[in-house]
Structure 1
Amino acid sequence: MTILSLLISCGKSSDKGELVGVKGAKWHPEKPYGMALVPGGAYIMGKSDEDVAGVQDAQTKTVTVRSFYMDETEITNSEYRQFVEWVKDSTIRMKLAILADEQGVKAGDSKGKGKNAGSIGDFAFNDADPEKMTAYDKYMYDNYYSVGTSDDIYAGRKLNKKVKLIKDPKQYPDEYYVEVMDSMYIPLEEAYNGLRTIDVDKLKFRYSWMDIQAAAKAKVGKRKDFIRNEEVKVYPDTTVWIKDFAYSYNEPMHNDYFWHKAYGDYPVVGVKWTQAKAFCAWRTLNKNSYIKSKKSGRDLINSFRLPTEAEWEYAARGGLESATYPWGGPYTKNDRGCFLANFKPNRGDYAADQALYTVEAKSYEPNGYNLYNMAGNVSEWTDSSYDPNAYEYVSTMNPNVLDASNKRKVVRGGSWKDVSYFLQVSTRDFEYADSARSFIGFRTVQDYMGVQNTGNGTGKARKNR
């Protein structure tokens, strides 16, 4: 007979031997900046009116979705530029840190004078100086970061982001810095009119994610077998303004739409589904990095992501049952004769609604959930794969179709170049994940944590039942 001895701590305990759970700070939901809460609930998904196009891909079905936050507007050029600038900044810093590592240069190794004081060593990896490393950092460096991974020998190394990048060529500190900056620009033979611009193909964002769907279905396998690594070029395809419209003069939009300040608050376009997914990963990383830097003990946020098709339609309806459009009625004009969205009202007449291309993301009146342009302006990527028969087999709770082999992804809402049929909240459309268009953008969502307040009754009411 084996006797197991339990060693009981003699330390003081506040639980008095009772099962009280692990105590911690009370959770208070925090609404993300620029987002609106969409209270979950049930609704009839699909066509509530005649299917004029005869597609027969949106049969009615009662489904339920959980609460979530959604961007009040489409992601704008200015917001997406923040992503591009972050990637550019990180790419330059990584190149500088790698070259400093190869040259054995560290902070303080300066040969310059005056404005050129400093060296590439100022941008060395944060772990480059053993004397400034904590015990934890030194252990991680010795056992992991110093050897990297099979596909990235610098994986895990920390960039020094406290030192500002030097943008003025006249103040570059040394020839190594010049070498790195030179590598970021297009070759001289590709420049014209004396303008040498950033080589946007160098702007790549790398991230990893766990394929939970595959892991759940697999009978065997280790965690690492389901980790997916992505590397995505982040710069939008500005040539979509030319490619999407043959025999049409749209060069000004190609040249200026993404970068000019005049279009900063307009929705970003020319973004592939894969780029929209990368943006979501970056937005999550960016916010959590900020929270960590403050060392305030705050919980990290859960991920930003693209909405599912069911979430998008539910949000677009704005709490209105059997609505044709986000504003409810079956007409595209209000009682004063003004159009309620940006689309193509008549054949060949793009300007009848007072807008030729896109308009600012916060245009027209928002719907019942305070969401702007859920119809028209730009169509929007969703996370869902397109299957014309999906409504016949999807779950009635948080329905979604995720099929990695299906490159057709659902887009919703219609755009500035579409007729009113595509603006209807129940109309389904698709585009290929690796395609970019001048009329497709996106917005992000984040899951609501805590009691699920719904449009069918408050969480408090359900709790008291």
Structure 2
Amino acid sequence: MKRISLYILLALVIVSCGSNDQGELVGVKSSNNWHSERPLGMTLIPGGSFTMGKQSEDVAGSLNSPARTVTVRPYYMDETEITNSEYKEFVHWVRDSIVRTELALFSELMSFDGEPVLEEYMFLNIDSTDMSPYQKYMMKTYGSLGDLNSPTQGKMLNWDSEIIWNVHEFPSEEYAEVMIDSILTPIEDSFEGRRMLNVDKLKFTYYWLDQEAAARNKGNRRDFIKQETVNVYPDTTVWVRDFKYSYNDPMHQDYFYHQAYNDYPVVGVSWMQSKAFCKWRTKKKNDYLNAKRNPTQVPQFRLATEAEWEYAARGGLENATYPWGNPYLTTDRGCFLANFKPIRGNYAVDGALYTVEAKSYPPNDYGLYNMSGNVAEWTNTSYSEASYYIGSTMNPNVEIDENHRKVIRGGSWKDVAYFLEVSTRDYEYADSARSYIGFRTVQDFLGTDISGN
């Protein structure tokens, strides 16, 4: 009897010491305090209702974009279009991943009898790395940390060793063999003795869950996991192919390559490439958090819906024609407010023949640059003449897998003023790349920011 009484007393002590809720319903408490972190280079779009579509006497335009009131939730948006420098980081990550994988696989294949080949590029020993027991078990048992894209078969790449790109500085014949036969352009494609990177090798593979389809249909979760493989290098030939009988070869050669254009918006990227960039940007941030042993996963970076794009472009101004509000294209001093084709084709009168730096001209009231002009921008929405009629008025987004026409917004450096209007719709095919189309990304804001601060 005394032993039972002692157990009851101990239980009461444990309960009283382990909780201070006094028996009240207080909900599950998180071990960490949550706060929304503004991603670098992004601004918060507070969300709300606005009149979307044509409000002017544009009869043709109002047929597929009639005015209606819609509501969007808060989200972060890039202040500028994604620049060449930012997109290069994506390309270089894919490039370096492929090079290190090829070097490590060659080292594993050719090293035997205690004589390592390309030792500095060998796969890392998992047991010697600073990995948690969970990570070590996942890598040894499943070959990845839950990522099906594991070309290294569960082995860890060595990211510390420097990659040598100068062919005259290759450290060994084995290194030269890997680079020449697997990474650089074939001999028959070379000229003037130059061996360049074979950009056709730069493919990024990722997996994603079609959550909307999974929610609307019954079936196993694995049935809705999709694989995408995308060549990530921009199509620089668009500067030539988009314009017949026009000399644009310097842009073809230098626009993405030369550092002079680092802060200019990237072009020549398809809708699929911009989606791949969003997946990589999410992975980059989550990899950093995992390395810090932070279990938090950031919301996905993605393309804006058509409604989100127009709401952000308006900058909180109702019934505005352009992001700056008034219906004029110049200031009271005659300075142009965007980069486009004014005055019957005088491309350079606004200050630039082609694109301008991403932070050019005054931003709108949300702090967003070049929402009109410079380059048109991909959105996540499929283009349909019926979109405004069938779409919801709450976070509208018409996605049709079979429809490869994707909405682009904002107009570009080669467009007339009509396409700069925040309500004007246009489209391009998802697998197309143009010298006048770029993109910017958004990220969902978790919760509701009523004040907009």
Match of 1:24 among 31, 53, 73: 31
With 394-403 and 348-357 compared, the bigger mean Cα shift is at: 348-357
Distance in 1 of aligned mates of 2:260 and 2:223: 46
Distance in 2 of aligned mates of 1:292 and 1:256: 37
Query: Counterpart of 1:122 in structure 2: which amino acid?
Result: E
Q: Residues 370-427 of structure 1, C-alpha deviation per residue, up to 9 Å, x if partnerless?
A: 0000000000000000111110111111110111111000000000000000000000
Match of 2:74 among 55, 60, 67: 67
Query: Counterpart of 1:394 in structure 2: which amino acid?
Result: G
Identity rate of aligned residues, in percent? 57
Query: 1:38 aligns to what?
Result: 45
TM-superposed CA distance for 1:294, in Å, is 2.5
Query: 2:94 aligns to what?
Result: 87
- The answer to whether structure 1 residue 244 and structure 2 residue 250 are counterparts is no
- The answer to whether structure 1 residue 216 and structure 2 residue 215 are counterparts is yes
Match of 1:402 among 399, 404, 413: 399
Conservation of the 8 A alpha-carbon contact between 1:105 and 1:124: no
Query: 1:188 aligns to what?
Result: 187
Change (3 A) 1:384 1:178: same
TM-superposed CA distance for 1:355, in Å, is 1.1
Change (3 A) 1:41 1:136: closer
Query: 2:3 aligns to what?
Result: none
Q: Residues 50-89 of structure 1, C-alpha deviation per residue, up to 9 Å, x if partnerless?
A: 2265562100110000111111000111111111111111
Distance in 1 of aligned mates of 2:128 and 2:31: 36
Distance in 2 of aligned mates of 1:251 and 1:418: 21
TM-score between both structures, scaled by the size of structure 1: 0.88
TM-score between both structures, scaled by the size of structure 2: 0.90
Match of 1:175 among 173, 196, 211: 173
Query: Counterpart of 2:19 in structure 1: which amino acid?
Result: S
Distance in 1 of aligned mates of 2:130 and 2:310: 53
Match of 2:19 among 14, 17, 21: 14
Change (3 A) 1:189 1:55: farther
1:295-374 equivalences in 2 (<5 Å): 295=293, 297=294, 299-374=296-371
Distance in 1 of aligned mates of 2:79 and 2:131: 43
1:84 aligned counterpart, secondary structure: helix
- More helix by percentage: 2
Distance in 1 of aligned mates of 2:212 and 2:92: 33
Conservation of the 8 A alpha-carbon contact between 2:406 and 2:429: yes
TM-superposed CA distance for 1:105, in Å, is 6.2
With 21-30 and 276-285 compared, the bigger mean Cα shift is at: 21-30
Q: Residues 343-392 of structure 1, C-alpha deviation per residue, up to 9 Å, x if partnerless?
A: 00122321121211101110000000000000000000000001111101
1:347 aligned counterpart, secondary structure: helix
Query: 1:115 aligns to what?
Result: none
Match of 2:57 among 50, 61, 65: 50
Query: Counterpart of 1:424 in structure 2: which amino acid?
Result: E
Query: Counterpart of 1:333 in structure 2: which amino acid?
Result: T
Q: CA RMSD in A?
A: 2.7
Query: 1:5 aligns to what?
Result: none
Query: 1:145 aligns to what?
Result: 143
Query: 1:77 aligns to what?
Result: 84
Distance in 1 of aligned mates of 2:266 and 2:367: 20
TM-superposed CA distance for 1:30, in Å, is 1.1
TM-superposed CA distance for 1:166, in Å, is 3.1
Q: Residues 292-312 of structure 1, C-alpha deviation per residue, up to 9 Å, x if partnerless?
A: 2233x3623111100000000
2:406 aligned counterpart, secondary structure: strand
Change (3 A) 1:319 1:100: same
Distance in 2 of aligned mates of 1:430 and 1:179: 45
Query: Counterpart of 1:71 in structure 2: which amino acid?
Result: D
Conservation of the 8 A alpha-carbon contact between 2:53 and 2:62: no
Conservation of the 8 A alpha-carbon contact between 2:230 and 2:272: yes
